[in-house]
Amino acid sequence: MQKLSIHGGVPLSGEVRVAGAKNASLPILAAALLTAEPVRVSNVPELNDVGTMIRLLERMGVAARRTPHAVDLDASAVSQPFAPYELVKTMRASILALGPLTARFGEARVSLPGGCAIGERPVDLHIKGLAAMGATIAIEAGYIHATASRLQGARVFMETVTVTGTENLMMAACLARGETVLENAAREPEVVDLARCLIAMGARIKGHGTDVITIEGVERLHGVEHAVMPDRIEAGTFLAAAAATRGDVTLAKAPVASLDAVLEKLREAGARIDVGADFIRLRMGARPKSVSIRTAPYPGFPTDMQAQFIALNAVAEGTAFVTETIFENRFMHVQELRRLGAAIDIEGNTALVHGVEKLTGAAVMATDLRASASLVIAGLVAEGETVIDRIYHLDRGYERIEARLGQLGARIARVS
């Protein structure tokens, strides 16, 4: 199994281009199910999760052609509106097939996602929303079986803000009869990117980016060419790494407008940040100061950046309170960071991170995608060698991370 070896202590320096967003690519690829015409998606990152979504679509009969950073999809001949457990269990975002399949084909069989390392993560709101739009839903042998002759527009209030739930229902509503209003909708930039793609396919959507999205259903959608937005979490991860190593890093093609909460905290940590139309430069000249954070749905501080900020706080001056409000078990990285010398206590859903002068390299294990990113940041700071096991988690969300950090001067290599 592949591991990542990092010899820490080098301040990151130079320029790196931000890749396309994983969490925008996945729903946009699923949206190809909504039309019989060709769809071309570009600026798609080369990630394991993207590969899984393409395989899932191919299993259904979608013709897919992948070229570097682009995918051509043709869902004119879908034979099986079915998402099998083998694929859904490796990637929960497979649930994004449920809305489009039910809307276009009147039927979907999608495996219920099983357990997850970061929390319970039910999909009840996806199911309730589709039921409110007139779908008949049965749970049979671990599968969600949805049927509908044609979905009907409805008012749907989601009691918890859910990103993929909002995306699933927004996609389904595009082909429903009449108007759908999604209340307490997710405002994440990835939802907005999906909405833009759907609008370019002929969908009638208003209010994306706010917590009330209104969709007027149409008879059919047409083909599209869409370039995916840059990945704000990848960008934030590079910036946190630059800050922790006291570096000077410029991000090109950065999603400038979607990073406010993260940039604010990096400034509070002492970083000097210059922002241009599509670049961000971060310079950190001294030891970072600890910054307390509380995760929240967008535009709040993203849960997907929580682990990376624990790593930053681990070497900062002072004590930080890091409160996780979205997922109930998203502190798996803490035990691994302790192995590198971090001083962190957990009380309920808050981690108290007491900054230490230095971390020391050790063997650690990645438990999920963002946890692995926090271990990379800690490894870049630690004295000596850090070896990270189970880096397939990292490959789900960061494209050629070792090459790109290497370009910034990091001493990092993939080893078997």
Burial 270-295, CB ≥16 within 10 A → b, else e? bbebebeeebbbbbbeeebebbbbeb
Give the nearer residue to ligand EPU in terms of CB position, either 32 or 271: 32
Orientation of helix 232-244 relative to helix 306-314, angle to 10°:
0
Cβ at position 298, least distance to ligand EPU in Å: 8
Give the nearer residue to ligand EPU in terms of CB position, either 296 or 362: 296
How far is the C-alpha of 383 from the C-alpha of 361, rounded, in Å? 6
Indicate which residue of 17, 65, 67, 116 is catalytic. 116
Give the nearer residue to ligand EPU in terms of CB position, either 373 or 382: 373
How far is the C-alpha of 321 from the C-alpha of 354, rounded, in Å? 9
Cβ at position 156, least distance to ligand EPU in Å: 12
The tokens for 58 are 């191919």
Residue whose C-alpha is closest to residue 231's, from 44, 12, 31:
44
Cβ at position 304, least distance to ligand EPU in Å: 5
- Report the amino acid identity of residue 416: S
Cβ at position 17, least distance to ligand EPU in Å: 19
Give the nearer residue to ligand EPU in terms of CB position, either 190 or 399: 190
In this structure, how many other beta carbons lie within 10 angstroms of the beta carbon of residue 30? 28
Give the nearer residue to ligand EPU in terms of CB position, either 74 or 190: 190
Cβ–Cβ under 8 Å, residues 323 and 349: yes
In this structure, how many other beta carbons lie within 10 angstroms of the beta carbon of residue 207? 15
Q: How far is CA 228 from CA 29, 101, 241, 252, 253, in A?
A: 10, 22, 24, 15, 12
Beta strand 385-389 pairing with 3-7: antiparallel
Cβ at position 219, least distance to ligand EPU in Å: 29
Give the nearer residue to ligand EPU in terms of CB position, either 38 or 119: 119
The tokens for 20 are 């396309």
How far is the C-alpha of 98 from the C-alpha of 96, rounded, in Å? 5
Give the nearer residue to ligand EPU in terms of CB position, either 164 or 214: 164
Cβ at position 299, least distance to ligand EPU in Å: 12
Which positions touch ligand EPU (CB under 6 A)? Answer: 23, 26, 92-93, 119-126, 160, 162-165, 190, 303-304, 326-327, 369-370, 397
Beta strand 319-323 pairing with 293-294: parallel
> Does residue 116 have an active-site annotation?
yes
Beta strand 107-111 pairing with 143-147: antiparallel
How far is the C-alpha of 91 from the C-alpha of 416, rounded, in Å? 24
Look-up of token digits 């960061």: 398
Cβ at position 406, least distance to ligand EPU in Å: 23
Catalytically active residues are: 116
